[in-house]
Structure 1
Amino acid sequence: MNELRGKTALVTGASAGIGRELARVLGREVGALVLVARRRERLDDLARELVAARPGLRVLVRAVDLLDRKALGAMLDDLGQAGEVIDVLVNNAGFGDYGLLENRDWEKIERMLELNVVSTTMLLARLVPPMVARGSGAILNVGSIAGILPSPAMSTYAASKAYVNHLSEGLRAELAGTGVSVTVVCPGPVPTEFQEVAGSDARPELPKAVYVDAVTCAEEAVAGLKRGQARVIPGVVPRAMAMTVDALPKALVRPFLSKMGKKARGGR
């Protein structure tokens, strides 16, 4: 079990969606929160809300664009120089992109890969070594169900989340016995600003049963983090679907994927 009381947690992408809900759930137990995102006004609003709900909570706001490597490095340096010890890292920041690769904007894809892959890894590279040295720490990486299975019409996003999913599993194995745990949460569809940013081109139509709200996602993710669970898939229906697909041989799945690809291209 990971004890959260009195710990300091850093949450990226805390200004909206799952990240904001993760901050709210963690804020009930941790001693301090470091909220990181680009939109300072939203972070300030969230900080005031969290402190009002729990006056003893210490909240630090850091308005940083994680695509700016120098700014990200400077933020981490400043926290270290101020004596802030990050006990829990929540790697949540990221965005998606819907549509056929040939129709997508390369600059958006590049930013997505930089944020979902490189920034996520940089935070781990900076914050895992001190955790190992202390013999304690917890990491929650936000992957995706999309990273479990190749996803036509969102191939690059799914690939970026497959990286996060696999990185989490590999890092968890590397850290076995160090006192540092790694949990990856793999949400299915969650109604947030994510859909707006990802765009509507070739967005898959999914039944309502597979959707999970951001609050439920955050609650289950933090519960899994506290248990030291390897992987959390929020929601009964998404979890059953993901586990079934994950167990199927690729040869059986490829015809289904091809049908999805044709449908995304406007065929049947």
Structure 2
Amino acid sequence: MGKKVLITGATSGIGRSLAYTLAEEGYELYIVGRSDEKLAELKADLESRYTQTCVCYRVDFSRSEEVRSFLAQKLQVDILIHCAGIGKVGDFKTISVEEEQEILQVNINASVLLLKSFAQRFVAQGHGTIIVVCSTAAFYPHPFMNTYASSKAFLHHYSLGLGEEVRRYSKQVKVIAVSPGPTRTSFFNPQTKTKMVQSQTETKFEMSAEQVGESIAKALYSNRSSVTIGRRNQLMTLFLKCLPLKLRIRLVGNYIAKGV
């Protein structure tokens, strides 16, 4: 295939799954993570399985200077898949201002720097696809994950607006916001996970990182600006939209509060 894809947040969860899925499809991989050890492990495993080389970049998205330094390298790729993001479960008493600022820095400030830069590059080169991994949490308020959900709402809206702006310059450049729902990753710490998942039935609503990765890989060929990953997530989102806002917030808050 020969296409070059850059994946942020590639050393774990959805990003890691995508790296294997796209390597299998023949893409040249450029992976970004914040751990040298995890990047080296992933690179070694990918190159032992596939013929393509894998290029690694260590970037901590909580540090603007590292993001700017990475962007200054002017890396030329065909596809950007932005998976990097962080979140935390808690309320306004338990989550510190510093923790909230870090979530906003990673999920909003660093993301804007990255997406704006690659949108400009793709328009200049005349082609390119940007996939932004948002979340179904972007579609309505999430008490006890308030800052995370709010940051994803910003990212979702920003991606849609950026896509329309880009479209006026080039029909060959796409921006697609993809929104997975609950996914079996290390996003939640084990204690939070144990509190929130009270029965085996509840885990059935989660998709595996591999399932989400495969769905996102398929979204590369979509002409839609927004894609909700998973049939259950699509139905749940439609159902919740039918409820009064106050009830919607209460139901979501009651579920997440179990993990506090």
| TM-score, normalisation: structure 1 | 0.86
Unaligned stretches of 5+ residues in structure 2:
none
Q: Which residue of 2 aligns with 1:217?
A: 212
Mapped to 2, the partners of 1:204 and 1:147 lie a distance apart of 21
> Per-residue deviation at 1:67?
1.9
Mapped to 2, the partners of 1:26 and 1:198 lie a distance apart of 32
Counterparts of 1:3-42 in structure 2 under 5 Å?
5-42=1-38
> Per-residue deviation at 1:11?
0.8
Unaligned stretches of 5+ residues in structure 1:
none
Tell me if structure 2 keeps the 8 A contact 1:9–1:86.
yes
Mapped to 1, the partners of 2:44 and 2:183 lie a distance apart of 25
Tell me if structure 2 keeps the 8 A contact 1:97–1:199.
no
Q: Which residue of 2 aligns with 1:133?
A: 124
Mapped to 2, the partners of 1:100 and 1:241 lie a distance apart of 24
> For the structure 1 residues 145 and 262, does the alpha-carbon distance in structure 2 shift closer, same or farther, using more than 3 Å as the test?
closer
> For the structure 1 residues 204 and 121, does the alpha-carbon distance in structure 2 shift closer, same or farther, using more than 3 Å as the test?
farther
> For the structure 1 residues 263 and 143, does the alpha-carbon distance in structure 2 shift closer, same or farther, using more than 3 Å as the test?
closer
1:254 alignment partner AA: K
Q: Which residue of 2 aligns with 1:169?
A: 160
> For the structure 1 residues 124 and 156, does the alpha-carbon distance in structure 2 shift closer, same or farther, using more than 3 Å as the test?
same
> For the structure 1 residues 234 and 256, does the alpha-carbon distance in structure 2 shift closer, same or farther, using more than 3 Å as the test?
closer
Mapped to 2, the partners of 1:241 and 1:185 lie a distance apart of 16
**Aligned-partner SS, 1:195:** coil
Mapped to 1, the partners of 2:255 and 2:188 lie a distance apart of 19
Deviations 1:74-102 (A, max 9, x none): 22223x3xxx4121111111111112222
Mapped to 2, the partners of 1:60 and 1:17 lie a distance apart of 19
What is the aligned counterpart of 2:87 among 65, 83, 96? 96
1:46 alignment partner AA: L
> Per-residue deviation at 1:136?
0.4
> Per-residue deviation at 1:180?
0.8
Alignment partner of 1:181 is 2:174:
yes
Q: Which residue of 1 aligns with 2:249?
A: 257
Alignment partner of 1:244 is 2:239:
yes
Tell me if structure 2 keeps the 8 A contact 1:216–1:234.
no
> Per-residue deviation at 1:215?
0.4
**Aligned-partner SS, 1:111:** helix
